[in-house]
Amino acid sequence: MNYHGVIFDFNGTLFFDTQYHKQVWKQIAETQWSLHLSDEEIQQHFLGKNNETIIDAFADRPLTREENKQLSEKKEAMYRELCRQHPETSNLAPGAEKLFDFLKANHIPMTIASASIKANIDFYVEYFRLDQWMDPQTITFDDGTYEDKRGMFTQAAKNIGCDISECLIFEDSISGIRFAHDVKAKAVIAINSEHDNDRYQAFPFLLGIYHDFNDFDFHGIFS
């Protein structure tokens, strides 16, 4: 199957950082809202959504836009510090660099559509040296203008000169997979770093479900 472009989610897809996010959201929920949330609740209600949406849904009182932004920035600063404290696990997903090299060598444009804020994107570009493979200016992220990842995916495709119907999207979150399907991406692949295939069974349209980027023959997929 031919693809004119590839769009990657980042967190939980290219970077297996779910535990970092869960840990920080639990701290925020407990200290800010006196909520004691389980891993399952965090997985279902927090991951794959932008911070503004999460904070508005769980805050114990209406917040101003500035208050929301400050809490979002606090959460992400805590998260980035966790990444720096654990360099042994703060690496790109297995096989990701090989896939990047293949796409670049075959002139298949690629970018990232992430629910992260700009400070995180800047951190990822520098820490993982993403500009070796893609133009950082094409990356879409939570800049406050997107309601959800549907808009991010569509804009990311435009940024690399493609229609979304010509793109392959890699995602890990349930909401992200739904949004990728909603915008009629040509194909969607689930990266299942959590080893929980059952949660993807509701999506028969998936091209595949893989633990990481070493798990499938990307030469065959892109032939």
- Ranking 86-95, 127-136, 198-207 by mean pLDDT, the lowest is 198-207
Element holding 190 (H helix, E strand):
strand 187-191
pLDDT of residue 123: 96
Q: Percent of the chain, pLDDT > 90?
A: 65
DSSP string, 100-165: HHHHHHTT--EEEB-SS-HHHHHHHHHHHTGGGTS-GGG-B--SS--SSHHHHHHHHHHHTT--GG
CATH number at residue 41: 1.10.150.240
* Stretch 135-152: mean pLDDT: 93
8 A C-beta contact, residue 56 and residue 63: yes
Q: 57, 85, 113 — which closes off a domain? A: 85
Beta bridge partners of 221: none
pLDDT of residue 53: 85
Residue 99 above 90 pLDDT?
A: yes
pLDDT of residue 31: 92
pLDDT of residue 195: 67
pLDDT of residue 59: 85
Residue 209 above 80 pLDDT?
A: yes
Residues 57 and 111 in one domain: no
pLDDT of residue 147: 87
8 A C-beta contact, residue 68 and residue 55: yes
8 A C-beta contact, residue 72 and residue 117: yes
Reported as a single tens digit per residue, the pLDDT across 111-120 is 999 988 899 9
Residues 57 and 145 in one domain: no
- Rounded to two decimals, the pTM is 0.86
Spatial strand order in the sheet of 167-171: 110-112, 5-8, 167-171, 187-191, 208-210
pLDDT of residue 166: 96
- What is the number of domains present in the chain? 2
Residues 120 and 139 in one domain: yes
pLDDT of residue 37: 86
DSSP-derived letter for residue 173 is S
Domain span at residue 216 reads: 5-16+91-221
Residue 181 above 90 pLDDT?
A: yes
DSSP-derived letter for residue 92 is B
Q: 85, 105, 126 — which closes off a domain? A: 85
CA–CA gap between residue 55 and residue 35 (Å, rounded): 13
CA–CA gap between residue 34 and residue 13 (Å, rounded): 30
Q: What are phi and psi of 187, to 5 degrees?
A: -160, 155
pLDDT of residue 30: 93
pLDDT range class, residue 87, cuts 50, 70, 90: very high
Residues 27 and 67 in one domain: yes
Q: 85, 109, 134 — which closes off a domain? A: 85
Residues 162 and 135 in one domain: yes
Residues 129 and 72 in one domain: no
pLDDT range class, residue 1, cuts 50, 70, 90: low
Which residue, among 136, 111, 108, 133, has the nearest Cα to 121 in the 3D structure?
136
pLDDT range class, residue 214, cuts 50, 70, 90: very high
Q: Which residue has the tokens 């809202």?
A: 33
SS3 26: helix
CA–CA gap between residue 116 and residue 140 (Å, rounded): 9
Residues 145 and 53 in one domain: no
Reported as a single tens digit per residue, the pLDDT across 54-70 is 899 888 888 898 999 89
Residues 34 and 123 in one domain: no
Which residue, among 100, 129, 115, has the nearest Cα to 180 in the 3D structure?
115
